[in-house]
């Protein structure tokens, strides 16, 4: 084979073999899987807005206040709250017929750390 005017010898390979041992990700695949799930949760603007409201309020926020602050109807708000609750990012307290939601600070710190580790690893 000739590359840029220089003859280069290309070794013979059998079909299905790799040129080199191949690169490996520096980050554990299980950690990448977890981070991918985190990104899926963060990938929806309504969920981001809910997290923003809950973090800024710093305490318990009634579902009716969330519905009033978001451009979607109550069933959609409840759907996104359920996804965040199932992932363990938020929790709820019932007071009578009302449900109050709050962010779990330990989980949010863990998510921030996972994202930071991966982004810094890509730099």
What are the domain boundaries of the chain? 27-122
- Looking at domain 27-122, which CATH architecture does it have? Orthogonal Bundle (1.10)
Q: Quick one: how far is CA 104 from the chain centroid?
A: 15
Q: Strand 90-95 to strand 61-62: parallel, antiparallel, or no bridges (unpaired)?
A: unpaired
If you average pLDDT over each of 9-13, 20-24, 50-54, which comes out highest? 50-54
| Of 110, 74, 109, 104, the residue nearest 89 (C-alpha) | 104
Least confident of 9-13, 51-55, 69-73, 107-111: 9-13
How much is the pTM?
0.74
Which residues does 28 contact at the CB level (< 8 Å), separation at least 6?
A: none
Q: Is the separation of the CB atoms in 100 and 60 below 8 Å?
A: yes
DSSP 91: E
Model pLDDT, residue 3:
65
Length of the chain: 123
pLDDT tens track for 91-103: 999 999 888 999 9
Q: Please give the Cα distance from 94 to 46 (Å, whole number).
A: 22
**What is the C-alpha separation between 102 and 51, in angstroms, rounded?**
9
């Amino acid at each position: 084979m000739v590359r840029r005017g220089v003859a280069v010898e290309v070794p013979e390979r059998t079909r299905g073999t790799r040129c080199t041992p191949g690169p490996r990700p520096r980050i554990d695949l299980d950690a990448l899987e977890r981070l991918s799930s985190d990104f899926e949760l963060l990938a929806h603007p309504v969920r981001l807005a809910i997290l923003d409201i809950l973090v800024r309020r710093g305490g318990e926020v009634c579902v009716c206040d969330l519905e009033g602050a978001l451009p979607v109807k109550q069933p959609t708000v409840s759907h996104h709250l359920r996804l965040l609750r199932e992932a363990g990012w938020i929790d709820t307290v019932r007071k009578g017929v009302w449900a109050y939601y709050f962010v779990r600070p330990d989980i949010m710190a863990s998510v921030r750390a996972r994202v930071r580790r991966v982004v810094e690893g890509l730099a």
